[in-house]
Chain A
Amino acid sequence: MVSVSRSFYDVFKVKPEETVGQLIYDLGNKQWNIPKLRELLETILPQKTTFDNYEVEHDFTTIGRRIMLLNARQIERGMGKERIILLAIEDITERKAIEKGLEKAHEELQELAAELKRTARAKSEFLANMSHELRTPLNSINGFSEILYDETVGPLNEKQKKYVDYVLTSGKHLLLLINQILDMSKVEAGKMKLTLSSLHMKSLLNEISLLVADMVGKKKLQMSLEIAEDLPNIDGDELKVKEILYNLLSNAVKFTPEGGKIGMRAKKNDSTGIDIVVWDTGIGIASENMGKIFEGFFRVDTPYSRITEGTGLGLSLSKKLVELHGGNLSVESKGLNRGTEVRFTLPIISRKAA
């Protein structure tokens, strides 16, 4: 050893007085008598005069197991034949540990991702099975109560008729829930397929408004429609677009007290789509609840919410269906009891067109 840098002493815990002038192998009570180092210095280096990035692992008595990265150059000093070796030793024990940790974390992440995929598949299989299992008894519940209600097998008295109507209404509600849950899971699993056709939006909007006219009349609400004359046709899935509009309009009806107003506006927007707004003067949404309204089954806790019927999935499903068409949906409210506006866009040419 001709000369040694200070950090060598620090890292490998050897003293200067027992280093310079010694054979490297004898350092620290022969701790450096490492076969691989010997091979490098005595066999490889004389032939190649250089070696790069050799990893050597060794168990030192004083500092434990270390991994070192060795680089060496054999150089001639002056004109003479004296050859010295420039040996750089880098302690990469910690770096290796980090790399190993990263590798392990990566493997764990991959396992986790695979697990998530399995879970998602299990979830959608579970939902499909559950939906089948629930429909089978519902077929009897709805079917028999419909037959009773229609008095196919004999007349009912007033109370019997009313009760069986409740059974039927509840059964239909349950069926709607099952269908919407299944649709949500299909959208989430990326399995919801759109059947696109050219939709005449002006007549479609009018048609949907007629569907809710009955509910609107019963609650003595005023409904206004502002549909632009030049509203273009769009590419969309007719049933899904109708479902979106029906969900939003029936929400407007449900959450608007008697005597209030609801409405729908539709026009072509500046880019390549149409804007539709469904608005009401109803109970609105408190700002602190804004973030929660797209979570399934969220209900504002007011005395009013108890009497409103619905599955609690309509809005979030509508948002997903709008997004599936390549549009977006947002909700605005100035606050509690100050009405709600749901705006959404639908592209004229759907991005999902195959």
Chain B
Amino acid sequence: MRNKILVVDDNKSNLVLEKDLLEVAGFEVFEAENAADGIAIARKEKPDIIIMDVRLPDMRGSEAARILRQDKETSYIPIVFVTASVMAGEKEEINAIANSGFIGKPINTRTFAKEISQFIRGKE
């Protein structure tokens, strides 16, 4: 069965880029442009991994992650933050979340899918 992956990014073209790269790599991709939609999809689809931007229109990615962690149904799903932020404070914010990772933007399209797969494998 194909691995399920949820991508949450409010930048439409970034979302398409990540989705296409992951689809080419064989993932089944779900997408959301804000945290609330992302959380709803996560509860319904229970993806193997979630890719999330740190700055989302309705809340911060770290806040969305905390909500997912509090829910038994989604608490185990690894979360990889893909963000253009370079501020130390935001990295600390991410580090504080268990079972999470970080990939900086711009992403390397040649290695992106492999990097993401490693986070799933790291979990199992």
Stretch of B30-38, B39-47, B64-72, B84-92 lying at the A interface: B84-92
Contact with B along A200-233 (1 / 0, CB 8 A): 0000000000000000000000000000000000
What 1/0 mask marks residues of chain A from 133 to 158 whose CB sits below 8 Å from any chain B CB?
Answer: 10111111011101100101100000
Chain B interface SS verdict (over half): loop
Taking a contact as CB atoms under 8 Å apart, the answer to whether A139 and B21 are in contact is no
The CA-CA distance from A137 to B87 in the complex, in Å, is 18
Give chain B residues whose Cβ lies under 8 Å from the Cβ of A175.
106
> Which residue on chain B has the smallest CB distance to residue A142?
B106
Chain A's interface size range is: 20 to 34
List residues 5-23 of chain A with CB under 8 A from any CB of chain B: none
* Structural contact, A140 and B11, CB atoms closer than 8 A: yes
B14 and A136 contact, CB distance less than 8 A:
yes
B1 beta carbon closer than 8 Å to chain A = no
Interface residues of B in 37-95 (CB under 8 A from A): 55, 84-88
3 residue pairs, one from A and one from B, having the closest CB atoms: A135-B84, A140-B13, A139-B106
- Given A128-B87, A182-B86: A150 in contact with B110 (beta carbons within 8 A): yes
Nearest residue (CB) in B for A133 is B84
User: Is A131 an interface residue when CB atoms closer than 8 A count as contact?
Assistant: yes
Bound together, the chains give a CA A175 to CA B84 distance in angstroms of 11
Interface residues of B (CB under 8 A from A): 11, 13-14, 17, 20-21, 24, 55, 84-88, 105-107, 109-110
B105 contact set on A, CB distance < 8 A: 135-136, 138-139
Known A139-B105, A142-B106, A150-B110; contact A132-B85, beta-carbon cutoff 8 A: yes
Give the complex CA separation of A142 and B105 in angstroms. Answer: 10
Contact B107 A143 (CB under 8 A): yes
Q: How far is the CA of A153 from the CA of B19 in the complex (A)?
A: 13
Is the Cβ of B17 less than 8 Å from the Cβ of A143? yes
Chain A residues whose C-beta falls within 8 Å of the C-beta of B24 in the assembled complex: 152
Q: Is the CB of A135 within 8 A of B106?
A: yes
Contact across chains for A139 and B86 when beta carbons are under 8 A apart: no
- Docked Cα-Cα span, A139 to B103, in Å, equals 12
In the complex with contacts A132-B55, A136-B14, A143-B85 CB distance below 8 A: no
Interface of chain A, main secondary structure: helix
Contacts of B88 in A (CB 8 A): 191
The distance in angstroms between the C-alpha atoms of A136 and B83, with both chains bound, is: 8
Q: Determine which of A132, A143, A153 lies in contact with B86 in the assembled complex, contact meaning CB atoms within 8 Å.
A: A132
Contacts A128-B87, A131-B86, A132-B85 given; does A146 touch B14 at CB 8 Å: no
A193 nearest in chain B by CB position? B88
Q: How far is the CB of B102 from chain A (nearest CB, A)?
A: 14
- Chosen A-B contacts, 16 in total, with CB atoms closer than 8 Å, are A128-B87, A136-B105, A139-B11, A139-B14, A139-B84, A139-B106, A139-B107, A142-B106, A143-B14, A143-B109, A147-B109, A150-B109, A152-B24, A153-B20, A182-B86, A191-B88
Which residue of B55, B84, B87, B106 is within 8 Å of A143 (Cβ)?
B106
Q: Is there contact, CB below 8 Å, between A136 and B84?
A: yes
Contact A138 B17 (CB under 8 A): no
Q: How far is the CA of A150 from the CA of B24 in the complex (A)?
A: 13
Q: What chain B residues lie within 8 Å of A137 (beta carbons)?
A: 11, 13
Residue ID in chain A nearest B87 by CB atoms:
A128
Task: List B contacts of A138 (CB < 8 A).
Answer: 105-106
Candidates B17, B55, B85, B110; contact of A139 at CB < 8 Å: B17
CA distance A144 to B11 in the complex (A): 14
- Please state if A147 and B87 are interface contacts (CB–CB under 8 Å): no
Nearest-Cβ distance from residue B71 to partner chain A, whole angstroms = 29
- Point out the residues of chain A lying under 8 angstroms from B106, CB to CB: 135, 138-139, 142-143, 171, 175
Contacts of A128 in B (CB 8 A): 85-87
Complex formed: what's the CA distance from A147 to B17 in Å? 9
